[in-house]
Amino acid sequence: MTSDLSAFYILLKRDLTLAYRHRAELANPLLFFVIVISLFPLGISPESKILQGIAPGIIWVAALLAAMLSLDNLFRSDFEDGSLEQLALSSHSLPILVLAKVLAHWLVTGLPLILLAPFLGVLLFLPEKATSTLIATLILGTPILSLIGAIGVALTVGLRRGGVLVSLLVLPLYIPVLIFAAGAVNEAARGFPVAGQLYFLGALLSLSLTLSPFATAAALRISLS
């Protein structure tokens, strides 16, 4: 167990270091997130009442698409240089190593989205009382996007131009997260309790955190065989 935890930390540190060296690639999902949200006031209406009603959905759809945009880089570089096969053949637990890579992906993609979202909420006239709920849903929901997306990427890592296939695989699984997260922010903006939606997102996060590393590890072994 100590050896696996050391491998987890080393792989996490390695992926974060590599991500820092390729900062331009990290900026693409964040710029996409900002641009998509910024275009809605221009394309629909700048009126605050209209934007308030659709702000939760806009922010969450943009966050979902931005997370999907960055998924292809999760295992692709490791597959191309052969290090992914070495990870699969190592004596360490592959699900733990997969969890390290997913955590690194969330830290460089999901966490910046959480930090940017409140400022973009102001752009869409999101009520202040709904901002804390927006942050809570993103904290619970964005790790689910990374964990579920890792399964789809693992299944298609050996295919050329597998990005479209990944979208087809993971989008149906993202829909419950989108519905309950955007619904919670909408209810908070109206002054209604949102505990039920947050509990559901927490249950989805627990389920994804428990099952996704094992499913991703199995998918990687299938793709590498």
**What average pLDDT score do residues 176-188 get?**
93
**What average pLDDT score do residues 42-51 get?**
82
Give 178's contacts (C-beta < 8 A, 6+ positions apart): 60, 61, 64
pLDDT (0 to 100) of residue 162: 61
Enumerate the domain spans of the chain.
Answer: 2-224
Q: What is the per-residue pLDDT across 80-120, written as a single tens digit (0 to 9) for each?
A: 777 888 888 888 888 999 999 999 999 998 999 999 999 99
In angstroms, the CA 166 to CA 72 distance is 8
pLDDT (0 to 100) of residue 201: 95
Compute CA distances 169 → 128, 153, 225, whole Å: 35, 9, 21
Residue 130 has pLDDT above 70, yes or no: yes
Residue 163 has pLDDT above 70, yes or no: no
**Cβ atoms of residues 92 and 11 within 8 Å:** no
Give 3's contacts (C-beta < 8 A, 6+ positions apart): 91, 92
pLDDT (0 to 100) of residue 203: 95
| Residue 126 φ then ψ, to 5° | -65, 130
Q: What is the per-residue pLDDT across 68-86, written as a single tens digit (0 to 9) for each?
A: 888 877 887 777 777 888 8
Q: What is the per-residue pLDDT across 2-34, written as a single tens digit (0 to 9) for each?
A: 687 888 898 889 888 888 887 777 788 889 999
Task: Please tell me whether the overall predicted TM-score, pTM, comes out greater than 0.85 for this model.
Answer: yes
Residue 214 has pLDDT above 80, yes or no: yes
Instruction: Kindly report the number of other CB atoms within 10 A of residue 48's CB atom.
Output: 13
Mean pLDDT of the chain: 87
Burial class (CB in 10 A: 0-12, 13-18, 19+), 192: exposed
Residue 1 has pLDDT above 60, yes or no: no
In angstroms, the CA 157 to CA 159 distance is 6
Residue 40 has pLDDT above 80, yes or no: yes
pLDDT (0 to 100) of residue 142: 94
